[in-house]
Amino acid sequence: LFNDDDFLDLAVGAPGETVGGQLSAGAVSVFYGSAAGLPAASQVLLQGNPELGDRFGSALVAAFFNADQGDLAVGAPGEDVGSAGAAGAVSVFYGVPGGLPGAGQVLLQANPEVGDQFGAALAAGFFEGDIFYDLAVGAPTETVGGNADAGAVSVFFGSASQLSGAAGQTLVQGPGVGGVAEAGDQFGLALAAGFFSGSNFNDLAVGAPTETV
C-alpha cells in the first residue's frame, strides 16, 4: 500500500542491474496495483549515488515504519561508506498518496567497516510494542570481538515520522542472545520476524548458516 489506495503493490529487486555504466549498482522496480491488476510499467528506484557493486535491491521489506502509507526498506550490502568498501547501507522510502518518493532515508551502522555487508538481510516487526514497525538489518560479515565475519544485527525503531537514524539495539551472539560469536558464523545472513511466543510483541529469528556446531 505504497500509494494510499486499496490495492497491494509489488516491489522487485534487481541487485545486478547496471546503472549509468556501474555494474551491479542495483535497482528496484515498483508496480502499483489496481482493480485491473499490476501494470506492465513500473517506477524505478535508485540510490542517490549508484556505484559499482552496491547491489541495491539485494534485500527488501515493506512495512508501516511511520504514521502514514506503507514504506519500503532496500538493502545495498555492497555500498561503500567513506573508505570502507562494502560496508553496506539501507535506504528507506516512505510512501505518500502519489507513491514512493525518488529519495529515501539512508541508514548506516554506527561503525561501518570494510566488508560488513550491512543490509544483506532485512525484517520488519513490532519489536518494542508500539504501533509502528521496527526494522532489523543483518550485517553477516561484521567483525565481532576480533572474529571476522561473525555477524551482527542492528534494530532501528519506528516512530510517527520515520525510523530512528541510529540503531536502538545491536544483537550479536553471546550472553542474552545465545551462542558465541566466532569467526565465519555469518550471524544475520537471514532474518524473520513473527509471533513465536505468547506476547503481543514480535520476535526475531536470526540465521547463522556457517556456525560450527
Whether 189 and 120 have beta carbons less than 8 Å apart is answered as: yes
- Rounded to a whole number of angstroms, the CA Rg of the chain reads 17
pLDDT digits (tens, 9 = 90+) for 57-111: 999 999 999 988 899 999 999 999 999 999 999 999 999 988 999 999 999 999 9
Cell 560479515 appears where?
A: 141
- DSSP result, 66-97: SSSS-EEEEEETT--BTTBTT-BEEEEEE-BT
Whether 80 and 65 have beta carbons less than 8 Å apart is answered as: no
Per-residue confidence band for 21, with pLDDT thresholds at 50, 70 and 90: very high
Which residue, among 112, 134, 109, 120, has the nearest Cα to 78 in the 3D structure? 120
pLDDT at residue 163 tops 90:
yes
Report the mean per-residue pLDDT for the chain: 95
pLDDT at residue 209 tops 90:
yes
Q: How many Cα atoms occupy the beta-carbon half-sphere of 54 within 13 Å?
A: 30
% of residues, the chain, pLDDT over 90? 89
Q: What local confidence, expressed as pLDDT, does residue 176 receive?
A: 81
